[in-house]
């Protein structure tokens, strides 16, 4: 069990961030253990044969038998969406003693794997960073735009939960292992065990494409941070747009609705059971945001969807009239 005691100031300083480096490092777990997530198998099958064998041995050695990873590889982002290269530069400046400590802590009580048996911590750090950079360009960067849209859609959902119901609602459906009670955020079923007070450091929340469960730092000395499984990951590796609304064919089925409003508008209605921004809808349908906007304007004008501004985004959602049309 890991617990973070959060006072009023810490809750006020709770923020979200996106970390391309964190996603790159966490994805190594899926490479090592494909059973963690069947959703990522298409991605894994595509990238695994393309990774250099020596890089693969080194990168997979970073994942312990307990699936923990060295903390120094996932520095806490100091801005909302840092560039991968900027984050990797922070890792390159990690002191040698921290590199040694974090590698041993991640693999304890086991000994370090053979690829990490380098007495020269600085040389090992550089080799890891170089391999991570090559791996990022090959396996993550080509998909990062789509990944970021999924991550930002999750943050929009979480921000709405926080606005409506405070911290309790924010954490309520994050993961079964996460629980908010009496001013303490607890994460159960963890290998590490500690409870620390945030003491004005706030809490950083990071939705993650590749996390299969909540992932706070291994060490209690690290600032409070929680990566958690992102919503909507199942749509990421779809090879084609989702089909229209489910239901029998015929007068009241999807064929009739397609004929009435058009196939794209019918699919939009099917997706809008929850509030979503234009960019996320465009990503799921694999069309341009401008094309989606045109369809949304018609659906809004006819009362089938509602819209509300959330920060810089406009969220759309199916109205009761749209529900009735989709499921007569």
Verify cis geometry, omega within 30 degrees of 0, for the bond prior to 109.
yes
d(CA 228, CA 212): 8
State the pLDDT at residue 249: 39
State the pLDDT at residue 108: 93
State the pLDDT at residue 152: 87
Domain ranges of the chain: 2-233, 254-326
State the pLDDT at residue 288: 83
State the pLDDT at residue 253: 45
Q: What is the pTM of this model?
A: 0.71
Burial 127-154 (b: 16+ CB within 10 A, else e): bbbebbbebbeebbeebbebbbbbbbbb
State the pLDDT at residue 208: 94
d(CA 279, CA 292): 8
Full pLDDT tens readout for the chain, 328 residues: 899 999 888 888 899 999 999 999 999 999 999 888 888 999 999 999 999 999 999 999 999 999 999 999 999 998 999 999 999 999 999 999 999 999 999 999 999 999 998 879 999 999 999 999 999 999 999 999 888 888 988 888 888 888 888 888 889 889 999 999 888 999 998 878 888 888 888 899 999 999 988 988 888 888 899 999 998 887 777 544 444 444 433 434 445 777 777 888 888 988 898 888 888 888 888 888 888 999 999 999 988 999 887 667 788 898 888 888 887 6
State the pLDDT at residue 246: 44
State the pLDDT at residue 328: 67
How far apart are the two ends of the chain, measured CA to CA in Å?
47
State the pLDDT at residue 75: 93
Instruction: Spell out the residues 6+ positions from residue 11 whose beta carbon is closer than 8 angstroms to its own.
Output: 167, 203
Domain 254-326 is found in CATH 1.50.10.100: no
State the pLDDT at residue 315: 86
CA atoms within 13 Å, Cβ hemisphere of 37: 23
State the pLDDT at residue 238: 59
How many C-beta atoms lie closer than 10 Å to residue 213's C-beta?
18
d(CA 204, CA 158): 13
Using CA atoms, how far residue 274 sits from 41, 271, 305, in Å, is 27, 7, 11
State the pLDDT at residue 311: 65
């Amino acid at each position: 069990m890991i617990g973070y005691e959060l006072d009023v100031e810490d809750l006020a300083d709770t923020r979200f961030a996106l970390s391309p480096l964190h996603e790159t490092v966490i994805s190594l777990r899926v490479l090592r253990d494909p059973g963690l997530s069947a959703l990522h198998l298409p991605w894994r099958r595509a990238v695994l044969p393309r990774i250099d064998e020596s890089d693969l041995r080194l990168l997979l050695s970073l994942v312990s038998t307990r699936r923990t990873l060295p903390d120094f590889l996932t520095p806490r982002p100091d801005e909302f969406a840092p560039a991968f290269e900027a984050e990797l530069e922070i890792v390159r400046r990690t002191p040698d003693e921290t590199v040694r400590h974090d590698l041993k802590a991640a693999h304890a009580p086991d000994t370090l794997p053979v690829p990490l048996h380098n007495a020269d911590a600085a040389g090992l750090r550089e080799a890891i960073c170089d391999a991570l950079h090559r791996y990022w360009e090959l396996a993550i960067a080509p998909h990062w735009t789509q990944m970021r849209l999924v991550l930002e859609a999750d943050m929009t959902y979480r921000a709405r939960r926080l606005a409506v119901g405070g911290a309790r609602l924010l954490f309520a459906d994050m993961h079964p292992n996460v629980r908010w009670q009496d001013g303490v955020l607890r994460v159960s079923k963890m290998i590490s065990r500690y409870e620390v007070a945030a003491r004005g450091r706030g809490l950083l929340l990071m939705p993650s494409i590749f996390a299969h469960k909540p992932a706070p730092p291994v060490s209690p000395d690290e600032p409070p941070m929680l990566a958690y499984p992102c919503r909507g990951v199942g749509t990421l590796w779809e090879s084609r747009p989702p089909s229209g609304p489910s239901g029998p064919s015929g007068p009241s089925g999807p064929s009739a609705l397609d004929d009435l409003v058009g196939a794209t508008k019918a699919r939009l209605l099917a997706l809008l059971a929850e509030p979503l921004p234009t960019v996320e809808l465009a990503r799921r349908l694999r069309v341009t945001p401008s094309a989606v906007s045109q369809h949304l304007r018609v659906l809004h004008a006819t009362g089938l969807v509602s819209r509300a501004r959330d920060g810089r985004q406009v969220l759309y959602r199916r109205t009761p009239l749209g529900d009735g049309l989709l499921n007569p």
